[in-house]
Amino acid sequence: MQTASFTGFIKTLFYFVAFYYIFKFVAKLLLPLLVKKVVKKAGENFQQQQRSQDTSWQKAQSNDEIIIDTSNSKKPRESKKVGDYVDYEEID
């Protein structure tokens, strides 16, 4: 069985701290590039969806047929009465 030494602990602690600062430095360099790429890709997807919606809207406008559903317009909507309205005055 091996026992832990103070120098081994300091060496391990140094590696953790060095890894943390190296990761932090690399993240500062690479994250802005990654975010730009993601935002650009999202913008392209949005523009592609807009183009597909515009073409479907133009196809819908070119169709001259208009359909109006009048089955519900003959029946007036019924409002449910849930209770009576009670007017009150505040007493001082």
Is 91 exposed, middle or buried (CB count within 10 Å of its CB: 0-12, 13-18, 19+)? exposed
- Indicate the pTM of the whole model: 0.42
**According to the model, what pLDDT value does residue 41 have?**
95
Low-confidence ranges of the chain (pLDDT < 70): 1, 56-66, 69-79
Burial track 56-89 (b if 16+ CB lie within 10 A, e otherwise): eeeeeeeeeeeeeeeeeeeeeeeeeeeeeeeeee
